[in-house]
Amino acid sequence: MDYIIGIDVGTTSTKALLYDLNGKIYAKANKGYTLYQSVPDMAEEDPEDIFNATLQAIQEVVAKAQLKDGKVVAVSWSAQQHSLIALDKDYKPITKAITWADNRAGKYADEYRENGRGMEMYKRTGLPIHPMGPFYKLLWLKNEEPDIFKNAAYWVGIKEYIIWRYTNVLKEEISMGAATGLMNMKTADWDDEAMKEAGVKREQLPELVDTTYKIKGIRSEYAKVMGIDDDVYFVMGATDGALSTIGVGAIETGVLAINIGTSAAVRSFVDKPVIDPKGRLYCYLIMKGKYLVGGPINNGGIVFSWAHDALFGSELETAKMLKMNSFDMLTEIAKKVPAGSNGLIFHPYLGGERAPLWDANARGSFFGLNRSHTRAHMIRAVLEGIVYNLYSVTLALREVTGKPKAILAAGGFVQSSLGRQILADVYENDVTIPESYESGSLAAMFLAKMSLGLEDKLEDISKYIGAKNVYHPNEENYAKYRALIPIYIRLSRELSKEYKSIADYQREFPESIDDQK
């Protein structure tokens, strides 16, 4: 029996899962690392930390599985989008990995929005006008860090860098290339105008290849540490957004995929480029005849984690003593509050926001607080606010792709019964959740099988997904959410007039997240 490792390089950790060729999981590992946020708008990671996390995660799953009757034939990669690393001529990083959550390029995104060039770039590349995009990060570095920009021989993302470390081959697959804002969505090649605007040359960017492209052989010293053969195939894989969509089976046009992990997203596949006239959605080429349209959201489960830590300190100590999961404890507290949280609305913009606002200055707020509200209302309002935000993105998606045929959901948020119910109630729709919630790693494994010639059609991933559970909305809650969602949307428009003012204040009088620990 041969085996495949699907590995997902996320924002806060790397997960590795070891599968046999029938899709059975033999071992899992999860290795975390630090997100550096020492100054306002900064969100960086150390490429060495992430590389070591991948090395340790693969080593752990191989050791746990104790393989005796075969070997690992392929490692296939999923990774966070929009990261940027400058490498010198010897391929050594001269910056940390600047992540999707870094907003320091906001000034340049604003300029491109105001002068109209941003919309022109969006129409060619599919990247919305936002500092998350490597295109805008390059503008920022060119103007604010000229020495780094001048000394950079290559520009890559975290996945490209890691694969190079293992294989000595520098390539970039098209789904990750699409997320840079430097690739033309129609030609699947680096866009000449985008490169000129950003000030980079073609030779500074990796060669673009398909998502199923494979590299045979890795450096023997790493193979030895991981416990695998050095002739293993490394399959390029795709972005985490693309693979989490494929991994829940949302491949058919018109099927909506919702993923709520640390961040969140609403996505749907289409068979040709689709551009939103208002620029609210991305459109990225994933593979031939498959474009992913959707909206990424900064503030998913990370907001629940904030509320967990900031509002419920004493309960966390109680949960620890009782050996309970503290997140489960909070959802039980939130269940005691009726749908709509008695008119308490939470805007979950703790880290700026991508879709639907595309405003790096956006800030969070509670609205409607009165003396009857408790922390239980606040925690439920936080959960509801995350879903309201997703729903507002879905309204934009409906305008360009039509009403969805079905809704599939994955991520840690929907492992909670309350999270599932809020999602179904707000959408007033059945929500289907696959039994296997590690959708990104599963899809990475499947792409490896396609790369090795063991599968032909993307749609055939359905046989690996396993049982699907359907959750139905509670009609008693419809009226409450129908009344609150328009208020939520109108209020976000009104507050947006002051987001820059309060963000500028916070930059003038900063307190870093690291200082608070």
Q: Which alpha helices (DSSP H) does 406-477 contain, by range?
A: 417-427, 439-451, 462-465
Residue 208 has pLDDT above 80, yes or no: yes
Which helix or strand (DSSP H or E) is residue 150 part of? helix 146-151
Q: 3-state secondary structure string, 380-392? A: HHHHHHHHHHHHH
| pLDDT level of residue 512 (50, 70, 90 thresholds) | low
pLDDT digits (tens, 9 = 90+) for 336-362: 999 999 999 999 999 899 999 999 999
Per-residue pLDDT at 344: 98
d(CA 233, CA 452): 9
Per-residue pLDDT at 122: 97
Q: Are the C-beta atoms of 107 and 54 separated by less than 8 Å?
A: no
- How far apart are the two ends of the chain, measured CA to CA in Å? 48
Least confident segment among 108-112, 126-130, 224-228, 326-330: 326-330
Q: What is the DSSP letter of 39?
A: S
Residue 440 CA to chain centroid, in angstroms? 10
d(CA 390, CA 297): 8
DSSP letter for each residue of 213-265: -EEE---HHHHHHHTS-TTPEEEEEEEHHHHHHHHTT--STTEEEEEESSSEE
Residue 516 has pLDDT above 60, yes or no: no
What is the average pLDDT score of the chain? 94
d(CA 330, CA 418): 10
Residue 104 has pLDDT above 70, yes or no: yes
pLDDT digits (tens, 9 = 90+) for 175-207: 999 999 999 999 999 999 999 999 999 999 999
Compute the average pLDDT of residues 104-108.
Answer: 96
Strand, helix or coil for residue 348: coil
Residue 514 has pLDDT above 60, yes or no: no
- Whose tokens are 């068979």? That residue is 271
Burial class (CB in 10 A: 0-12, 13-18, 19+), 277: exposed
Residue 317 has pLDDT above 80, yes or no: no
pLDDT digits (tens, 9 = 90+) for 57-82: 999 999 999 988 889 999 999 999 99
Which amino acid is it at 347? H
d(CA 31, CA 50): 9
* Residue (of 146, 147, 166, 148) closest to 158 by Cα position: 166
Residue 460 has pLDDT above 70, yes or no: yes
| pLDDT level of residue 36 (50, 70, 90 thresholds) | very high
d(CA 419, CA 162): 34
DSSP letter for each residue of 92-144: -BSS-EE-TT--TTHHHHHHHHHHSHHHHHHHHH---SSTTSHHHHHHHHHHH
What is the maximum span of the chain, computed from C-alpha positions, in angstroms? Answer: 66
Residue 141 CB contacts under 8 Å (≥ 6 apart), including other chains: 86, 95, 148, 149
Query: What's the pTM value of the predicted model, to 2 decimals?
Result: 0.92
The radius of gyration of the chain from alpha carbons, rounded to an integer in Å, stands at 22
Residue 376 has pLDDT above 70, yes or no: yes
| pLDDT level of residue 447 (50, 70, 90 thresholds) | very high
Per-residue pLDDT at 438: 84
Per-residue pLDDT at 513: 53
Q: Which residues pair with 238 in a beta bridge?
A: 78
d(CA 495, CA 499): 6
d(CA 304, CA 334): 12
Per-residue pLDDT at 462: 92
Compute the average pLDDT of residues 213-225.
Answer: 98
pLDDT digits (tens, 9 = 90+) for 128-170: 999 999 999 999 999 999 999 999 999 999 999 999 999 999 9
Per-residue pLDDT at 313: 78
Compute the average pLDDT of residues 92-98.
Answer: 98
Compute the average pLDDT of residues 216-235.
Answer: 98
Q: Which residues pair with 172 in a beta bridge?
A: 208
Mode of pairing for the β-strands spanning 282-287 and 290-297: antiparallel
Q: What percent of the chain has pLDDT over 70?
A: 99
Per-residue pLDDT at 485: 98
